[in-house]
Each structure stands twice: as C-alpha cells, then as structure tokens.
Amino acid sequence: MRLVLPLVLVLSFPVWGQDSKNQIQKYRDMVAEGSPAELFEIEGEALWKKPQGPNNVSLEKCDLGLGAGVLKGAYAHLPRYFADADRVMDLETRLAHCMVTLQGRTFKEATARVFGTADRPSEMESLSAYVASLSRGMPMAPGTSHPKEKEAYELGRALYVHRAGPWDFACTSCHGAEGKRIRLQELPVLTKVESARAVAATWPAYRVSTSQFVTLQWRMNDCYRQMRMPEPAFGSDATVALIHFIVVNGKGEPYRGPGNKR
C-alpha cells in the first residue's frame, strides 16, 4: 500500500525557483523524446486487428464516432454521444462497447483487467495508445452539442468540486488553486483552459515512474483512490463525465500524445 499524504505535501510556489522550474521542463522535454509509448502503440495495433471473443472477430469495424473502422482523428473527437448506446462515451468505454457488440465478449470479461502492470499491460492500455496516436496533430474536438453531452459536462463540473469521502476531498482539494504542487509536481487546475488544454493534448501517457501506460479511466480511478473515495466503476457515468469535462475545457488544442510523463 502506498502511503500518500497529499494534504501534507501541497506547498505553494514562492519556495519554487524559476531555475528549478526550467530544469524540470528540460527533464520533461528530454524524456518526451522517443517515448516508450510507441511500443504500446505497436501492441495496440496488433490487438486492434486480433480476432477475439466468441464471434472471433477483430475490432477493425468498431465505430469510434467517425464511422466503422475509422481511426484517424477518432480520439480527438472523444468523448461524444453515441446513439447506439444512448450515452456519452470516452475512448475506453467505447472500446469496451465494441468488445461486447462486435466480439461477443461480456462486459465483465472484457473489463476484467483494464488496469495492467509494467510487465503485463492491459488490452485497454495498448489499444488506447494505438487509437490515440492516430489523432496526433488534430485539434481536440469532443462532442458538445447533444443534450447528453451538455449533461455530461455539467456532471463533470459538479463532480470536480463535490467533496465526499472520509477526507472530505474533491478534485479541487489538489487541483483547485494555482501554484500548488505535490512534491515536485505542479498541479494543473483543470477548470482553467490552458491547463485543461495541456492535459487533453497529452493523455493517455506512459509514466516513466511506473513504466506503465496510463489511460484516463485509470487516472480517474487512481484520483478517487487517492481521495479515499469508493472505487468508481470502469466506464461509469462519473468517470466519463469528468474526462468529458476536462477534454471539453481543453478543446481546440492539437493532440500531441500519447504522452510521456514522470
């Protein structure tokens, strides 16, 4: 069990020199060159084309929003409303949907192991890397016009500030004010356009500290764990709404992921 005490370690910026910030940026820039994320993209491509499930078909006809099998730009247009599921879905929820409807797998089986390990990434991680890579350079354009998309945005906005759990935490406890950091990492305020844009453009991402490819569903799940809240279900309305909220705030930013982070 990891001991995490974010409250204790949230410090404000005045102690943080500009030179240190520059060196950290240099670290991030150098680490971003030649990201191992590309290795997950290769895995993901193989999984996309691999026949699986009782129907023994691949995911190649999966409609991620731009048409069956259209991958280029699909990630940049997510999350969005899907009529065939009558809900807003993010990339991972949609992939799970295709695993069920195309491949004949059960939702339970398809999502039994969505968060992998450094030695054994999950299917979802590799697939996310692959699909996201095919939106490189395109402006983030999640769905915003459908009533359910607006609803998801409002739900995400409400969840962002909603305090709950044994510590009475909300996202804002860490991501609520400028100038905060945990240990050496600046905490982005995701209600601010510039921060949301940077986040939308660089997730999912390879984490060098864990050697894992981390997806947005995973990230939301882990935030909830850090806040000591009950675990959200994979692809839940809550996690999709939060992801939608962040990506909509960051819309327009050209996608430059999958990212490579600390």
Tell me: does residue 12 bind another protein (CB under 8 A): no
- By CB under 8 A, the count of residues binding another protein is 35
Q: What is the spatial distance between Cα 227 and Cα 212, in angstroms, rounded to a whole number?
A: 21
Q: What are phi and psi of 21, to 5 degrees?
A: -60, -40
Q: What is the spatial distance between Cα 190 and Cα 157, in angstroms, rounded to a whole number?
A: 10
Closest CA to 62 of 107, 115, 127, 133: 127
Q: Which of 20, 72, 106, 178 binds another protein (CB under 8 A)?
A: 20
Q: Which of 12, 55, 106, 185 binds another protein (CB under 8 A)?
A: 185
DSSP for residue 227: T
DSSP for residue 50: S
Q: Which of 68, 112, 177, 184 binds another protein (CB under 8 A)?
A: 184
Tell me: does residue 119 bind another protein (CB under 8 A): yes
Query: In terms of DSSP bridges, do strands 185-186 and 259-261 run parallel, antiparallel, or are they unpaired?
Result: unpaired
Identify which of residues 89 and 190 has a Cβ nearer to another protein in the complex. Answer: 190
Tell me: does residue 223 bind another protein (CB under 8 A): yes
Query: Could you tell me which residues are beta bridge partners of residue 212?
Result: 207
Tell me: does residue 151 bind another protein (CB under 8 A): no
Is 174 one of the catalytic residues? no
CA dihedral 245, 246, 249, 251 (to 10 degrees): -110
By annotation, the residues acting in catalysis are 223
Binding site for another protein (CB under 8 A): 2, 4, 6, 20, 23-24, 26-28, 30-31, 33-36, 38-39, 42-43, 118-119, 174, 182-185, 208-209, 211, 219, 222-223, 225-226, 262
